[in-house]
Amino acid sequence: MNRTRVFITGMGITSSLGEGVAAHLDALKSNRTGIRPLGLFTVSGGNLFPAGEIAGFRAPAGIPRTHALALATARQAVPAGAVPDAIILGTTTGGMPSTEESLRKGETGPDAYRLHSTSSVAELLAAETGCTGPVMTVTTACSSGTAAIKLALELLRNGMARRVLAGGADALCRLTYYGFNSLQLIDPAGARPLDRARRGMSVAEGAGMIMLEAAGSPPPGAIAELLGAGLSCDAYHPAAPHPEGDGARAAMTRAIEDAGVRAADIGYINLHGTGTTDNDLAEARAIRALFGETVPPVSSIKGATGHSLAAAGAIEAVVCAMALRDGIIPANTGCTEPDPALGVMPLLAPLEKKPALVLSNSFGFGGNNACLVMSGPDAAREEPSRTPLFRFEAVSSACMTGAGDTEQTIAAIIEGKKCRGLLPLADISAKLPPREVRRLKRLPRLVISLAMEASGIAGSAAKPSSIFFGTGWGPLSETHDFLSKLFESGEQFTSPTDFVGSVHNAPAGQAAIWLKATGANLTVTGGDSSFEQALLAAALAAGEGEALLVMGADEHHEVLSPLFDASVRAGGPSSDGGGALCLRKSGAPAGVTIAPLFYRGSRNNRDVISALIESAGGAGVITKKYAAIFAGMPAGNRQECESRLNQLITATGFTGPVIDYRGLTGEFASASAVAAALAVRFAARGEIPAPVTGGASCPLAGKGILMLGLGEFITAVEITA
């Protein structure tokens, strides 16, 4: 019996080596480097270091550079006439290249920032390709592109799509260029991975895209097969790797096990290999621990391309597919004298050989690790039998709003009060040791507090090993403070602490350190559906029986929030907060359960509400199964949301209470995480209080709660007891 396998049927690549597979094949065979003096923007004196800039690439007017790189590369990867069922993209910069210029010029019109969000890159790809299915954005720093491919693999394995476009894209910008320099991680001579004299990395830009297709046997035009992928978290330090490479080894081991192969079968390892002293040493130790004395050929291409951050892993996935198809294993460009302390010998020249299996490594800030295993497409294989598990047992829930923590929020609701507003910073972190959070700003304190409360309620029996975090805008305070200091000083001074804290996955990385959670650690961004993305990512990537945290949180920033978020501009008191659920993935969950039911784009998708109703079992099932609807209707597109809600109510004849939960929580991207945490509490009590329904209390009487997102993406989440 043929089972689902996943093949690469199209690929695109853009880096400092050029545009397209042919240009990269030629460059890798010649062992050339694309690292050169920066010309994209002017930098202050004493700060000019070589970078992996794509010479001659120009973004169209009105399109940020990251978006343009993603679009150009996707056009290479998507076969003519093909429409992907889903798009999953890794990025860290999003619209930052354009946002920096607008902030520097003091522009206050929101149109200048309409493509700021990291999620807007994948959303633009969806509009370009006609994709109306799930669109997800992973932002786990330098492992983003590889982690995105992992989620795409699981989406295909679970039968939720037949064809997925996956990859990563990042453009050079001041935030990353000056940020890595502030950490003293830039090699002024250009990156020299694994070299005895290495001094750091070279910041770069680029994009890598692969079209993944599910099939029982190799489809026409198959380039390679994606066999498996593994995720882990160091839970050690916000920016430095575990010195023994424990997290890296765990991710490699999980990828190999997921692929159903042995370490001894690997014929080539594409190293993360940034050229920094600590990263190269930690990765080498992890490889020696896993492979012993029989390390296969290894190399890093970052001495050729530079380190393109979220794009790096996706670019390297394409290079690995080229190795499998074209029989070229790239050299470790930039290395002339390998460091004997590493105990691994990188390839100093390209090797003309077609490996049977390749392992590709990507590691990022926050200790986020992701690895892939690939082979040629023609090997006879049978995928192990897999049972989709999308329902979770809700062990505990916690939330934080303008009214306070979970109990304070519920007490305020029962008294008929709103939970909107901004909790003072001291109150957010009141239960955390002041000394240990003194350098942390608003969003990481909020996330850590939520994580500690939810895991504390769950107790030792459900200690979370993985964290899935959704945020619409990430750490705004750190981003604003870093750029403000940079511009105010004439681009002479920056804050390394703010740079490390500015990446979207920094709060989840901090939570992992506090909880010592060494499983998967994924941060996703999707505007008002960021929490729902996190829940779907958990359903795809968490293991059966595993305890995990699914979280969503956003902070309000008085300058940036109104510029970025249309719902914040639409009015109402400034608000922020978040929610956290401690869950256990189980085929037979007990007590309160939660499950993602639906996730589709609304743009050019006139039948999306009909599809939602069908996915829930039909109109009759909805009226019989659910006692209440929690409706997410962001103020930024309120009219369209109300129209969609009315369409659903009319089609189903639903007569139960419909709770417009943003009226309680206020307007912020992750308000649905608060709604989910409250819904879990109400399900456990068996009743929704009267102040929530706006009328009489609503006994659930064995029925569930249907939580809907009705904005740019239409989502449905089911909570039952």
Per DSSP, the residues of 485-511 read HHHHTTSS---HHHHHHHSTTHHHHHH
Query: CB–CB of 582/454 below 8 Å?
Result: yes
C-alpha distances out from residue 419 to 235, 469, 531, 663, Å: 33, 22, 19, 9
Greatest Cα pair distance in the chain: 76
- The residues near 107 (Cβ < 8 Å, ≥ 6 apart) are none
Residue 445, phi-psi category: left (phi > 0), alpha (psi -120 to 50), beta (remainder): alpha
**CA contacts within 13 A on the Cβ side of 375:** 20
| 417 class by beta-carbon count within 10 Å (0-12 exposed, 13-18 middle, 19+ buried) | middle
Query: CB–CB of 672/713 below 8 Å?
Result: no
Q: Structure tokens of 673? A: 């995480």
Query: CB–CB of 308/319 below 8 Å?
Result: no
Distance in angstroms (rounded) separating the CA atoms of residues 534 and 551: 7
First to last CA, the chain: 38
Per DSSP, the residues of 191-216 read --TTBTT---B-BB-EEEEEEEEEES
Distance in angstroms (rounded) separating the CA atoms of residues 657 and 171: 47
- Contacts of 179-187 with C-beta under 8 Å, sequence gap 24+, read 179/482, 179/494, 179/496, 179/499, 179/502, 180/499, 181/47, 181/49, 181/494, 182/494, 182/495, 182/496, 182/499, 183/239, 183/496, 183/499, 183/500, 185/276, 186/49, 187/49, 187/275
Q: Kindly list the catalytic residues.
A: 142, 272, 307
